[in-house]
Amino acid sequence: MFLVAGARPNFVKIAPLVEAFERAAPRDRLEVRLVNTGQHYDPLMAGSFFEELGIREPDVDLGVGSGTHAEQTARILVAFERLLVEERPRLVVVVGDVNSTLACALAAAKLGIDIAHVEAGLRSRDRSMPEEINRIVTDALSSLCFTTCVEASENLAHEGIATDRIFFVGNVMIDTLLRSRDRARPPASLATVGLRPREYALITLHRAGNVDRPVEAGRVVAAAERAAARLPLVFPMHPRTRQMLERHGLLARLLAVASAHLVEPLPYLEFLYVMDRARVVLTDSGGIQEETSVLGVPCLTLRQNTERPITIEQGTNRLVGLEPDNVAAALDEVLAAPMPRARPLPLWDGRAAERIADITVRHYGVHTAETGMSR
């Protein structure tokens, strides 16, 4: 089988899967080939995650890099199809909702190779998000859909996906968080800033809808300024965001705010350290909405919708949109309230990858010595 990753959040998700698959099915029975598409290639967006999370070297690196959606998807399709034709795996496991997820699923489906999708069924119901398209298509093509919550399983059932293909297993991103929390370490790039636990805010922004056009980018920068007026603000900046803010003439404005600490994207263990101790997190990331829920850190999501409504039901996350006034008002409410209590979510217990591996091995590939039959 192939296990595919390509972009930063994928690496966090595959770390426990590589281990769980290799434990559940020894190499001579179900060989796990690790494929990196290379959608993300900067050391801080990719390599550091392999090192810190102990992910072994990929068996194949497609090295596709950046481009428009069509260019990037097409490059992955061509390179991955070639690989599939050469190696003919029985199963391709894809994670998340990035372009690599969609492209690899599509290439496999056209060759009649089964697909398992980890983190299936999440829906923002906003098709202007490229990720939403990636989710819908990938789920439609997958033989096994592994979900993080009951609601995601229900979404799939409503779309007509047979319930015997849907498995609620928990959250692999949280597997990684729980096993890494004790190893988190303070960021080297913030060493001179002197941040105190629960006395700063953390912000991350990178969604195309928030940073690519000047109007939205202007709003999120204004929101960041309003936050930095209330408490020190740590801003690890995604390369896309840096590029766009620079293009829109907004980067200099943020750099001029003394209480806003702009740094390069942080390695996983450093980001976890900063997130775990923040007073509040402002973000447009999906994964961070989930991680703050588990950590019990208030999260303000700078979007109009979320594919992860469970984080809102949980009480830690709130959708605030992009209007600076609304963000500032929500921030004031959060700062006036005590820190929320972290409450465990069903099956977000650190064992999702194990469940996925067990179910997959039951479906595919284990040729048992005793019976000589596949089960």
Instruction: Give catalytic residues, as residue numbers.
Output: 206
CB 296 within 8 A of CB 198: no
Contact positions with ligand UD1 (CB under 6 A) in 8-27: 8-9
Strand arrangement of the beta sheet that strand 317-319 belongs to = 260-263, 233-236, 201-204, 280-283, 299-301, 317-319
Beta bridge partners of 358: none
Do residues 39 and 7 make contact, with C-beta atoms less than 8 angstroms apart?
Answer: yes
DSSP E strands, the chain:
2-5, 33-36, 60-61, 91-95, 114-118, 144-147, 166-168, 201-204, 233-236, 260-263, 280-283, 299-301, 317-319
Diameter over CA atoms, the chain: 70
Q: Which of 243, 259, 305, 326 binds ligand UD1 (CB under 6 A)?
A: 243
Part of the chain binding ligand UD1 (CB under 6 A), chosen from 41-49, 56-64, 253-261, 323-331: 41-49
Give the whole-angstrom CA distance, residue 349 versus residue 343. Answer: 11
In the complex with ligand UD1, the residue whose CB is nearer, 238 or 303, is 238
Under rule CB under 6 A, residue 138 binds ligand UD1? no
Name the residue with tokens 């939403």: 132
Q: Residue 337 in 3-state DSSP?
A: coil
Spell out, one character per residue from 247 to 276, where the chain touches ligand UD1: x when CB under 6 A holds, - when not.
------------------------------
When the beta carbons of 148 and 360 are compared against ligand UD1, the nearer one is: 148
Say if CB 103 and CB 134 are below 8 A apart.
no
Q: Rule CB under 6 A: say whether 41 interacts with ligand UD1.
A: yes
CA angle 281, 213, 302 (to 5 degrees): 20
- Burial-class residue 61 by CB neighbours within 10 Å (0-12, 13-18, 19+): middle
- State the nearest-atom distance from the C-beta of 44 to ligand UD1, in Å: 8
Number of residues binding to ligand UD1, judged by CB under 6 A = 21
66 contacts ligand UD1 (rule: CB under 6 A): yes
User: Least distance in Å: CB of 246 to ligand UD1?
Assistant: 11
226 binds ligand UD1 (CB under 6 A): no
| Of positions 45, 145, 221, 237, contacts ligand UD1 by CB under 6 A | 45
The residue from 47, 209, 214, 239 that contacts ligand UD1 (CB under 6 A) is 239
Indicate whether 126 belongs to the interface with ligand UD1 (CB under 6 A). Answer: no
Q: Is 350 in the site for ligand UD1 (CB under 6 A)?
A: no
State both tokens at 92: 């391709």
Q: What is the DSSP letter of 360?
A: H
Determine which residue in the list 206, 303, 351, 363 makes contact with ligand UD1, applying CB under 6 A.
206
- Residue 165 as a binder of ligand UD1 (CB under 6 A): the answer is no
Tokens read off for 321? 């949109």
Binds ligand UD1 by CB under 6 A, chosen from 33, 179, 226, 240: 240
Least CB distance from residue 244 to ligand UD1, whole Å?
9
Which of 1, 3, 5, 7 binds ligand UD1 (CB under 6 A)? It is 7
Q: Does 47 bind ligand UD1 (CB under 6 A)?
A: no
* Shortest Å, Cβ 352 to ligand UD1: 19
- Residue 180 in the binding site for ligand UD1 (CB under 6 A): no
Exposure string over 194-212, b if 16+ CB within 10 A, otherwise e: ebeeeebbbbbbbbbebbb
Region binding ligand UD1 by CB under 6 A among candidate stretches 1-9, 15-23, 194-202, 225-233: 1-9
Give me the residues that bind ligand UD1 (CB under 6 A), please.
Answer: 7-9, 39-42, 45-46, 66, 72, 97-99, 130-131, 206, 238-240, 243
